[in-house]
Amino acid sequence: MSWYDELVGRLSLPEPAMVAPERALPGRAEPLDVPDTHYVNGHPIHPPFPEGLQLAVVAMGCFWGAEKSFWELDGVYTTAAGYVGGYTPNPTYEEVCSGRTGHTEAVLVVFDPAVIGYAGILRHFWENHDPTQGMRQGNDRGTQYRSAVFTFGAEQADLVRSTAEAYGKRLAAAGYGQITTEISPLPGLAAFYYAEGYHQQYLAKNPGGYCPVHATGVSCPVGTGA
């Protein structure tokens, strides 16, 4: 257990709560100013994407490190940082951090299923953060840091639930609590609000930047035959 976990336990800090829809910030009609291309590989970060590619949207704490971990994977065509799962249209970073939009920091992953399937994306997701922490990841605390997977269609949703069940057993055996990851359908990419340009591929633009990884060290059985 980390010092932060011990501190939370001693102080009995209340769990951050989702804002009620009627209390969410109004947002804006126009999207934020975002570059068209990926800073690292030059591929577009907005649709349309090349035929045959698939989409995934995941949230695993601070999106800086999460996005970097995905763009480095073989078979990933492009990535983008954004906000998902809330009520405020086209929110700013400051608004999301206020806890009054309902969004979580998320990553759009565009991938080639012939190289890395959705199961491989999920395995990377589960293994590279702690999905048992509720509304936080380590010291980053708030609804904007909650673990989540936003699915495109029933097939993705079924695979998320089955991998969550399998990984939950592994986590329990290692002494972790229950998985708290939100699993929600995404009606379309329009529900993914791209973050400001300076957040896109942030750790490539700022190589001295810091974004901790809160991986549990427990392997996910996806693709292992377990």
What residues act catalytically? Answer: 62
Can you give the length of the chain in residues?
226
Each residue of 140-177: b (16+ CB within 10 Å) or e?
Answer: bbbbbbbbbbbbbeeebbebbeebbebbbebbeeeebe
User: Left (φ > 0), alpha (ψ -120 to 50) or beta: where does 119 sit?
Assistant: alpha
Question: Virtual CA dihedral for 147, 153, 159, 164, nearest 10 degrees?
Answer: 20
State the angle between helix axes of 118-127 and 154-173 in degrees (0 to 180), rounded to the nearest 10.
30
Query: d(Cα 164, Cα 97) in Å, to the nearest integer?
Result: 27
Cβ atoms of residues 118 and 159 within 8 Å = yes
Cβ atoms of residues 102 and 143 within 8 Å = yes
Tokens of 152: 């495109």
Angle at 88 between CA 84 and CA 93, to 5 degrees: 70
Query: d(Cα 40, Cα 90) in Å, to the nearest integer?
Result: 24
